[in-house]
Each structure stands twice: as structure tokens, then as C-alpha cells.
Amino acid sequence: MSDHGGHGHHDGHDDDDHGHDHHDHGHDHHHGHDLETVGYAVVTVSSSRSIEDDPAGDAIVAAVEDAGDELVTRELVRDDYDGVQGAINNLVDRDDVDCVVTTGGTGVTPDDVTVEAVDPLFDKRLPGFGELFRAMSREEIGTMVVATRATAGVADGVPVFCLPGSENAALLGAEGIIAPEAPHLAGLASRDED
């Protein structure tokens, strides 16, 4: 058993070295279009919260600012299909918004309409975001991740990320995935429009 483990470790080490070289090579090539500063719009979807009482929105704003990016606008929208869709549509049209992050409305109750409202706006879907977010969330909430419909896509050249309404989930998604990847995604998504 120990021999097999040692063998596996050795193979893995070789693979890591190879992958590292490859990653360095790709890094220069892929990140040439990264935005230096990302302008974020943060949207809280809730019929019960206010901007003053919005820990999930606060967590996203903190993650954005910690990354050295800019909060362009922050909005609160009720759990309403047309309202959510209209708000996101307006934001992706703005020249100063490079990335939109929503929190709330991604669950399975009848009021949870964020995913349905945003989906028709997507020119491209980014399924890897939801997959990665649920994989990361599993450590915290276990099999309850099946009730999380966090999603992302590109609408009109702007990445849009839809996170759950809990503070922990918003922080995990914003700090762990969105802040590191948004400059790259926003740069790529808007590249054809330059």
C-alpha cells in the first residue's frame, strides 16, 4: 500500500512540474487583456432587506475593494422577475460597469427568480462558476448545495455573477472566485468591443 502511495506521489510531482511550466507559458498569453481596475455593480435581490441591513452585499463590496477594484454602484431590487431583469439589463449597458454581482434569489422558493430573470440576458453562460461555487460551498453546507442555483454568464460583454443571499455564500463567491477572476473575464468578454 505504501509503495503504491509513493508511486502515485512521484507521478503527481512530475505532473505538477509539467503543469507549472505550461501554466506560466499560458499566463502571459491569456492575461494580456485583463482589466487593471474592474468597475463593479453590486445588486441585492430582496424584498425584506435594505441597503443599510445587507450583510451579503457588504461582504461583496468588501471583497471588491480589498482586491483594489471599484464599486461603481450598489442597488437593492425586490424579488420580482421584471425588476431584476430590468436592473441587470440597465447595468450591463453602462460604460462604467465591467462586472455585475447579484446576491439573493438563487434558491428554490417561488420568490427566488434571479436565475430565471438573468438567464435570458446571457449571450454566453459560464457553467464553471456554479460548479466551482457549489464545490467550494460543500465543505460548509454539505449536500444542501443542491438547493443553490448560483450561476454566471456574459451579458452584452459584461460578466454577471449571481450569488446566494447569505453572507457566508456571498463572501465565499466574491473573495474566492469573482475578485480573482473578474479582471480576466471582463477583459476577455469585452475584447471584441474595443
Distance, CA of 180 to CA of 91 (rounded, Å): 21
Strand intervals (E) in 46-188: 70-77, 99-103, 124-125, 151-155, 158-163
Q: Is residue 132 part of a domain?
A: yes
Q: Is residue 13 part of a domain?
A: no
| pTM for this predicted structure | 0.83
- The set of residues, in sequence order, having a beta carbon less than 8 Å from that of 139 and lying 6+ positions away, is none
Helix (H, G, I), strand (E, B) or coil at 175: helix
Q: Which residues of the chain have pLDDT under 70?
A: 1-32, 191-194
Structural domain harbouring 46? 39-190
How many domains does the chain fold into? 1
SS percent in the chain: helix, strand, coil, step 5: 60, 20, 25
Q: Is residue 77 part of a domain?
A: yes
Q: Is residue 118 part of a domain?
A: yes
Cα-based torsion angle of the residue sequence 134, 135, 136, 138 in order, rounded to the nearest 10 degrees: 80
Q: Is residue 11 part of a domain?
A: no
pLDDT value of residue 5 = 47
Q: Is residue 179 part of a domain?
A: yes
Q: Is residue 22 part of a domain?
A: no
Q: Is residue 174 part of a domain?
A: yes
Say which CATH number the domain at 116 has: 3.40.980.10
Helix (H, G, I), strand (E, B) or coil at 39: strand
Cα-based torsion angle of the residue sequence 47, 112, 160, 154 in order, rounded to the nearest 10 degrees: -140
pLDDT value of residue 30 = 54
